Each structure stands twice: as structure tokens, then as C-alpha cells.
């Protein structure tokens, strides 16, 4: 049951991420930063895709995804179409992995330590959802300020 709830929230928020990226009137604004805004929407999008493909795809789903976290923040001017494709691919990966997880697996320890100490897989997935929504809010605010 909890896996279905989490999967539903991941999917909903990733669809919102796609919508936010699509809503930029000027595509170049995806990459703009000003004053105290240090991360562009494009870089936050890359970061979210990298994060979910690593911690859900590669770690739980055993995909071959190899993360380049530094590139998530250093790459610039990736076309909107490519960002959207990455989001759509992430939706599929997250859905596939989440559908395979059982309630018993949620109670087990997450395979690696990410948050300074070991946590259950369920706890870590809730953390990933909150991380996604946090940065999604930043992207929404960035779009309304910059675009």
C-alpha cells in the first residue's frame, strides 16, 4: 500500500516538474541566475533527475545509471526538449522500481548510508519525495521571478 502511495506522489511531482519546465516562456531563462539565486531551474531539474535515477533507479532497481553530480550543477543550456525527455525517462524508471517494491522491503535498511546514518528504505523514499518537492518549489519560484 505505501509503495503505491509513494509511487503516486513521485509520479505527480515529476509530472509537475515537467510542466514547470514547459511553462518557461523563454527557454534561455531555464539557465538564468541572478543575485542570490545560485541554482538555475535547468540545473535543479538535472539534479532531481540524477538524484532519483541514482537512489531509486541504480540502488533499488539495479539500473546501470551512473551519476555525475557535479555535472548536474555545472552543465548549462541543455535544450528544454532534452530536459523533458530526462524527466519522462525518470518517471518510467521510478514507476518500474516502485511497482516492484514490497512493504517488507520498505521496512528493510536502505542499501547504502546517505543521511549520516542508516535508515529504512521507506524512510529514505519519503526523504526523496520531500527533496523532490522542495526543489520543485524552488523551480516554480524561479520561473515566476525570472521568466
> Which CATH number belongs to the domain containing residue 9 in this structure?
1.20.120.450
Domains in the chain: how many in total? Answer: 1
Q: What share of the chain is helix, strand, coil (3-state, %, to 5)?
A: 70, 0, 25
Q: Tell me the pTM.
A: 0.96
Inter-CA distances, 86 with 49, 50, 52, 71, 82, Å: 7, 9, 11, 14, 6
Is the predicted pLDDT of residue 127 greater than 90, yes or no? Answer: yes
Residues 6+ apart with CB under 8 A from 89: none
- Give 67's pLDDT tier (boundaries 50, 70, 90): very high
Cα 98 from chain centre: 14
Residues 6+ apart with CB under 8 A from 138: 39, 44
Is the predicted pLDDT of residue 35 greater than 90, yes or no? Answer: no
| Structural domain for 51, as ranges | 2-146
d(CA 138, CA 131): 11
Backbone φ and ψ for 78, nearest 5 degrees, come out as -70, 130
The pLDDT of residue 1: 82
- Give 74's pLDDT tier (boundaries 50, 70, 90): very high
Q: Which residue has the cell 509503495?
A: 3
Amino acid at each position: 500500500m505505501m509503495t503505491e502511495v509513494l509511487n503516486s506522489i513521485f509520479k505527480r511531482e515529476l509530472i509537475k516538474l515537467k510542466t514547470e519546465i514547459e511553462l518557461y516562456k523563454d527557454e534561455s531563462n531555464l539557465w538564468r541566475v541572478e543575485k542570490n539565486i545560485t541554482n538555475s531551474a535547468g540545473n535543479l531539474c538535472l539534479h532531481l533527475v540524477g538524484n532519483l535515477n541514482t537512489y531509486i533507479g541504480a540502488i533499488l532497481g539495479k539500473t546501470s545509471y551512473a551519476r555525475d553530480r557535479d555535472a548536474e550543477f555545472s552543465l548549462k543550456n541543455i535544450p528544454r526538449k532534452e530536459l523533458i525527455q530526462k524527466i519522462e525517462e525518470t518517471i518510467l524508471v521510478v514507476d518500474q522500481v516502485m511497482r516492484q517494491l514490497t512493504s517488507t522491503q520498505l521496512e528493510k535498511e536502505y542499501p547504502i548510508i546517505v543521511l549520516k546514518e542508516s535508515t529504512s528504505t521507506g524512510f529514505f523514499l519519503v526523504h526523496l519525495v520531500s527533496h523532490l518537492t522542495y526543489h520543485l518549489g524552488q523551480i516554480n519560484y524561479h520561473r515566476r521571478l525570472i521568466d
